[in-house]
Amino acid sequence: MANPIAWQLATVVAIRDETPSVRSFTLGLPGWPGHRSGQHVDVRLTAEDGYSVERSYSIASEPEREGEVDITVEQIPGGEVSPFLHEVVVVGDRFEVRGPIGGYFVWQAALGGPLLLVAGGSGVVPLMAMIRHRHRAGLEVPTRLLFSSRHADEIIFRDELDELASAEDGFEVIHTLTRSRPSGWSGYDRRIDQRMLGEVLEPLGVGARVYICGPTALVEVAANALVRLGVPPDRVRTERFGPTGT
């Protein structure tokens, strides 16, 4: 078996815009050993002078796809790696990748549910791998995604989430928009708080498995509120990253 932590060469086989600042890259990885939803890859870029930088990106795609993974990357103005991925990389380019990485923020079918997924902005990416896995594996684990975005045009994976929810197989998505709302918006209109979490958790019950990914402030508010609502702390898994103020 391939050493999962060894660096291997990935080829960019597709690039897709998700929102004005978020783009997905499909990486062809012929020796990919498979992953669990929620895991990461490390990306290493090396300049001609030998200078190299590494970043960790959550895998967005489900484990059922063989030989390739999607990473979904938000462009961070002034960053070193994300602007390169957004502005320079084209289909056919190659760079080094290692993975899959991580065993803490992971969900797979055998863990069961029900599932409460809480995302802020690009924190939805590892949760999307779980949602896609659930769908591709034909699971009917009751699952609710509470997804906080700033503006409607910044909702990542919006069309795909709507389509998955329309199957009515036990997956639901609940949006909140924290900065601006289109006219006629029927979702929540504020930052995630305990009252909102209580309403979203209620149909699942306090036995739900919870995965929260987003900016630190969102993660801490949500994790603390859910424990106060009665979810056992060891059923709440968190991953913090990304810009504040989502």
Partner 1 sequence: MLDHSDDPAIERELDGNALAGSLESLFGRDMTAVPGRCAHCGTVHMVGAMRLFMGGPGAVLRCPACDEVVLRIVETADRTYVDARGADYLVFRRSDREIA
One residue of 40, 86, 133, 209 binding partner 1 per CB under 8 A: 40
Task: Specify which residues 12 forms β-bridges with.
Answer: 27
One residue of 9, 14, 91, 111 binding partner 1 per CB under 8 A: 111
Does the protein bind partner 1 through residue 2 (CB under 8 A)? no
Closest by Cα among 136, 63, 47, 50 to 99: 63
Considering the complex, state which of residue 189 and residue 220 has its C-beta at the smaller distance from partner 1.
Answer: 220
Measured from the CB of residue 229, what is the shortest distance to partner 1 in angstroms?
Answer: 19
Does the protein bind partner 1 through residue 182 (CB under 8 A)? no
Q: How many residues make up the chain in this entry?
A: 246
Measured from the CB of residue 139, what is the shortest distance to partner 1 in angstroms?
Answer: 16
193-220: buried (b, 16+ CB within 10 Å) or exposed (e) per residue? eeebbeebbeebeeebbbbbbbbeebbe
DSSP state at residue 227: H
Q: How far apart are CA 141 and CA 221, in angstroms?
A: 25
The pattern of x and - marking residues 4 through 33 that bind partner 1 according to CB under 8 A reads -x----------------------------
Beta carbons within 8 Å of 7's beta carbon, 6+ residues apart: 44, 96, 97, 98
Measured from the CB of residue 88, what is the shortest distance to partner 1 in angstroms?
Answer: 16
Query: Could you list the residues that contact partner 1 (CB under 8 A)?
Result: 5, 36, 40, 42, 53-56, 76-82, 98-99, 101-106, 108, 110-111, 215-216, 237-244
